[in-house]
A and B are shown apart, each in its own frame.
Chain A
């Protein structure tokens, strides 16, 4: 299964069902972030239901605190 994250191709070796699983897989679950899935901005409570399919595009922006 291949998806795009922030413009880069990502090959997923194990099957990923939901956006929540994807975040876990990408090691991003601790971050506070906003996700655009195929050009639609997701609300937090949609992470669990949103299904990931081959060829999907994601833009992920996480908040950082440094300055």
Chain B
């Protein structure tokens, strides 16, 4: 009974129809980042009936997320639930038919390389340009469309990148902006998130239902507070010498398998991930820590956290570690080697 009615209104929408609905249900969408953008787009797509959704995110739920990250609850904050796990629980309650694959990982080249081929489209819901440029090049390599989306304050911007057709992000951006404007410094209002996602998900549905002609083809931006809307036809900016989309060099996929540190913008936190081949024994590690009588020791099946004044250390199952309370990678590494090895 449910299955007859569930997608009726969406199928009534003429460009989708019965055939479009079937395509949606047979599709696989990868959403990278499950913060504000990823929470919203995954909910829309799960409700739309997408067959399979893979979610990737490196973080766990914190109180300051609740203002805009619609899939999470106070319970998730209390349990320090990884975002993809909390998201999956909620999404699965909304639609039990969608297959949801939840991966608690820091998305890098390898993670994308192993999945890109099997997905139909990738939604960018990350919070940094490093990951976006990896997505950009992976999508060129595997000839997959992806939808850039980002927002800060009351401003948002989005663009759909189609291999062999549109410019790519590398063509459009001459440098990675470092003006310090992030959600942690100038804030963000929830409607700006929803507006970006409205564009992103509409583009994805067009792609999944074979409505390529309806794609916007424009770089779209808006400022909801200033009542501004911009749409630029950027097709002429496709760069014949672009190493990503014209020369197949994929500079953003070059990678060294070594310990990597990243300062998380605006969060006074350093992330450390070990080289790729290192095996981490989470259970043993947890047991070992328990004996140390650490301050505010906490654990769930996905992570452990504890405090070494003035730092808070969070270690995920795969060994990836967040050191809160510092912006100094050297200082963070010292703590990492002391506890994680």
Interface residues of A (CB under 8 A from B): 6-8, 30-32, 34, 36, 41, 43-44, 59-67
* Beta-carbon contacts under 8 Å, B141-164 to A: 149-152, 155-157
Q: Does B175 contact A32, Cβ atoms closer than 8 Å?
A: yes
Q: Does A7 contact B125, Cβ atoms closer than 8 Å?
A: no
- B230 touches which one: A32, A59, A64 (CB < 8 A)? A59
The verdict on B269 contacting chain A, using a C-beta distance below 8 Å, is: no
Query: Min CB distance, B264 to chain A, in Å?
Result: 12
Query: Min CB distance, B334 to chain A, in Å?
Result: 28
Q: Does A64 contact B38, Cβ atoms closer than 8 Å?
A: no
Contacts A/B (CB < 8 Å), 5 sampled: A62-B221, A64-B150, A66-B182, A67-B38, A67-B150
Nearest-CB residue, chain A, relative to B36: A67
Q: Does B228 contact A63, Cβ atoms closer than 8 Å?
A: no
Q: Does B174 contact A41, Cβ atoms closer than 8 Å?
A: no
Q: Does A63 contact B172, Cβ atoms closer than 8 Å?
A: yes
Alpha-carbon gap, A40 to B35, bound state (A): 36
The verdict on B178 contacting chain A, using a C-beta distance below 8 Å, is: yes
Q: Does A63 contact B33, Cβ atoms closer than 8 Å?
A: no
Taking residues whose C-beta sits less than 8 angstroms from the other chain, chain B's interface range is: 35 or more
Total A-B contacts with CB atoms under 8 angstroms apart? 88
Query: Min CB distance, A33 to chain B, in Å?
Result: 8
B-side interface mostly: mixed
Query: Min CB distance, A46 to chain B, in Å?
Result: 11
Q: Does B37 contact A32, Cβ atoms closer than 8 Å?
A: no
Interface residues of B (CB under 8 A from A): 33, 35-38, 124-129, 132, 149-152, 155-157, 172-179, 181-183, 188, 219, 221, 223, 226, 228-234, 236-237, 265
Q: Does A67 contact B237, Cβ atoms closer than 8 Å?
A: no
Alpha-carbon gap, A4 to B156, bound state (A): 20
B174 cross-chain contacts in A, Cβ below 8 A: 32, 44
Q: Does B177 contact A30, Cβ atoms closer than 8 Å?
A: yes
B219 cross-chain contacts in A, Cβ below 8 A: 34, 61
Alpha-carbon gap, A63 to B172, bound state (A): 9
- B236 touches which one: A7, A41, A61, A63 (CB < 8 A)? A41
Q: Does A34 contact B234, Cβ atoms closer than 8 Å?
A: yes
Alpha-carbon gap, A15 to B67, bound state (A): 44
Alpha-carbon gap, A66 to B149, bound state (A): 9
Query: Min CB distance, A38 to chain B, in Å?
Result: 13
Alpha-carbon gap, A12 to B236, bound state (A): 29
Alpha-carbon gap, A63 to B236, bound state (A): 18
Alpha-carbon gap, A34 to B182, bound state (A): 19
Q: Does B172 contact A67, Cβ atoms closer than 8 Å?
A: no
- A32 touches which one: B33, B173, B223 (CB < 8 A)? B173
